[in-house]
A and B are shown apart, each in its own frame.
Chain A
């Protein structure tokens, strides 16, 4: 096995309606670029990015899912192993916001109970086309006790911050549970992988 170049591995998942900008958010985060020309995600996509938090190298394994209903059986099988989930809606599209509740229910049904969640209201650069106010975003997050942020993949607003806050929250949790963290420990990794795969 190759030598580990990180201390911890976190598995994250991006969910939300089609077209809210999940792929753009991930692309902005992993490649620091924006392109208006993404093909729609079919099934599930995958990116890796290593970040440093509190002196630890954390490898983020991020799964980008397809938004449309048809793909739910494929995508919900990934919920189980996720340690963090970003729920994305589009501030210029009412429907995608209303569906957040539906996505939360999906998480309840399919994800680990202690999964860290965060709601993102994306496309905040399009102020003139906004139909979902920041207050409504905050309210729904408060109601469910979840973190919330408005982001723009296009203007690069809050993207890095969103991922590091989510990672931070997971870090806190794993710390609490397992006080000693040897650098090449793989427990987190293992647990995640074993739980997640019902498919082979």
Chain B
């Protein structure tokens, strides 16, 4: 029996149990989840605590969550004054209107939301530009969105914000001329026509809903890089029934993952126990312990961990490697029972692998090297990281 066949069998056995042994599953996933048979999206759903370990309760959980997601869309993606579903138009002028300055005004919320949306819009259009996936249409557009004559398309809203906010702000100056040009989207990330929807539009909605539901945190740049690989994995599931619900499933898995790494995204928590600064100093300490020469070099050059590892850690390395490698790294990260201590080991391994170059490079060369990590066999990085963690990594 081939090694791959054997691994696939191990996964099948683990996943087909009535009561899935998560410890065993984590052990398997740590060494990498095979790309075959939709194993990765399924395992990630378990590792991210979306699916319960009892198989029998999957269908109830999924139905509940997916219905909930549907209500999020219905409740949170609305335009004030939009036609009611029964076709009757609410007379907003009586109660609420775009120039209403009352903070409870739906229009005020709408405009504030649009600022968040504008940022999300810019970022989802800049996601993984080296692959074409996110620009392509999904097979499962949200019907309630795409058939609403553009009304509920999120990017549609921000095309107008510039115009609308300028309009509101300048009203006191008696400005009468209003630009009527509608912003055109960046060519490549063009939204699809009525009835269709590109993958980046789906991500835009997930991130917007997340920001609405987590107002204390809102949307922070980089979240797009976290949600991207999860959605990609789910939306490429070979099983059509899973694929169809990729959006809702991604939303909940992303939310769960964010609850574990949200401290990285909150400025006021930079100094907290699990904030980004403490992660960076853990990394520095680990480099020092394992290779004092490299540590000394970086220290003398005053090459701070912020210059490179802020991004490594915040984004779980998603900007440092090509997508397939990122997925492989995340298999191990999500399987890490000691949440994200393995992330530090990987980062440390990355630095140690560059030791010879770092020891001769000057400050500028070294910053560049660390910010643009050279392409390597990801297995080498992970094996080294596993060794640092006192573990052994099986080859795939």
Contacts and interface: CB of A to CB of B under 8 A. Distances in A.
A95 B169 CA distance: 11
Contact of A37 (B162, B188, B266, B364): B188
Contacts of A2: 362
A180 interface: no
A42 B302 contact: no
Contacts of A69: 267
B221 A37 contact: no
Given A2-B362, A68-B119, A42 B311 contact: yes
A40 B123 contact: yes
B162 A18 contact: no
Interface in A59-102: 61, 66, 68-74, 77, 92-95
Contacts of B367: 46
A42 B129 contact: no
Given A40-B221, A200-B302, A72 B314 contact: no
B4 interface: no
Contact of B310 (A19, A74, A92): A74
On chain A, which size bracket covers the interface?
35 or more
Contacts of B115: 95
Interface in A90-146: 92-95, 128-129, 131
A36 B186 contact: yes
A199 interface: yes
On chain B, which size bracket covers the interface?
35 or more
Contact of B265 (A44, A70, A95): A70
A42 B306 contact: no
Contacts of B266: 70
Contacts of B270: 73
Contacts, number: 102
B68 interface: no
A48 interface: yes
B379 to A, nearest CB: 25
Interface string A24-48: 0000000000011111101111101
A114 B302 CA distance: 23
A46 B267 contact: no
Given A37-B126, A39-B128, A129-B183, 9 more contacts: A38-B129, A39-B225, A44-B307, A46-B367, A69-B267, A94-B165, A95-B115, A194-B302, A200-B284
21 contacts: A19-B119, A37-B130, A37-B188, A40-B123, A40-B221, A42-B315, A43-B306, A43-B307, A43-B311, A46-B364, A68-B221, A70-B265, A72-B267, A74-B306, A74-B310, A93-B162, A194-B302, A197-B302, A200-B284, A200-B303, A200-B305
Interface of A: 1-2, 18-19, 35-40, 42-46, 48, 61, 66, 68-74, 77, 92-95, 128-129, 131, 193-194, 196-197, 199-200
Interface of B: 115, 119, 122-123, 126-130, 162, 165-166, 169, 179, 181, 183, 186-188, 220-222, 224-225, 265-267, 270, 284, 299, 302-307, 310-311, 314-315, 319, 362-364, 367-368, 371
